[in-house]
């Protein structure tokens, strides 16, 4: 970070002074929530330390999405260990089919099973954790269906 930028942002100095950078995780040594997430107060507002770190490095989080700790260490503020995810994927990730099928990175049609393109269905008989679905395929199916309806209003 440039020296001029740093001097304009004393919050950054205060923030990073509370971080213990290990070889892997950057551990927050300041105040923490009951769940172990770091808390940082700046401009009279208290927020999540890991979100602050991520936005400091990467800019605003798109859509205000929750950040998932890829390292599963709540007090870690290493931006490289943080990834914006939809709430649903965040909740499911621990037990999710994404976690159970790590080898499959693409759907049968070759769309990436990434955070944006993937969702998990409700549990159903035979698959208590739900099935992983491709949004791109969904859109294509819907498009095909509506096209058929238009062509064949009877069906």
- Give the binding site for Zn ion (CB under 5 A): 25, 71, 73, 76, 78, 81, 107, 109, 111, 134, 136-137
CB of 125 to Zn ion, least distance (A): 24
CB of 75 to Zn ion, least distance (A): 9
Give the H/E segment covering residue 20: strand 19-21
Shorter beta-carbon distance to Zn ion: residue 75 or 96:
75
Shorter beta-carbon distance to Zn ion: residue 9 or 32:
32
Shorter beta-carbon distance to Zn ion: residue 41 or 83:
83
Q: CA of 111: how far to CAs of 23, 90, 137, in Å?
A: 34, 21, 8
Any bridge partners for residue 32, and if so which? 38
Shorter beta-carbon distance to Zn ion: residue 1 or 80:
80
Separation between Cα atoms, residue 101 and residue 54, nearest integer Å: 28
CB of 151 to Zn ion, least distance (A): 24
CB of 113 to Zn ion, least distance (A): 8
14 three-class SS? helix
Q: Which residues contact 32 (CB under 8 A, 6 or more apart)?
A: 38, 39, 74, 75
């Amino acid at each position: 970070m440039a020296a001029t930028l740093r001097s304009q942002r004393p919050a950054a100095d205060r923030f990073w002074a509370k971080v213990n950078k290990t070889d892997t995780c950057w551990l927050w040594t300041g105040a923490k929530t009951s769940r172990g997430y770091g808390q940082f107060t700046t401009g009279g507002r208290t927020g999540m330390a890991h979100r602050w770190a991520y936005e400091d490095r990467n800019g605003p989080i798109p859509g205000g999405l929750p950040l998932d700790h890829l390292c599963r260490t709540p007090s870690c503020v290493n931006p490289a260990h943080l990834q914006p995810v939809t709430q649903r994927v965040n909740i499911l990730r621990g037990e999710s089919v994404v976690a159970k099928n790590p080898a499959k990175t693409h759907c049968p049609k070759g769309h990436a099973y990434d955070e944006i393109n993937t969702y998990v269905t409700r549990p159903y008989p035979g698959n208590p954790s739900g099935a992983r679905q491709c949004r791109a395929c969904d859109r294509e199916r819907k498009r095909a269906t509506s096209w058929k309806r238009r062509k064949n209003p009877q069906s």
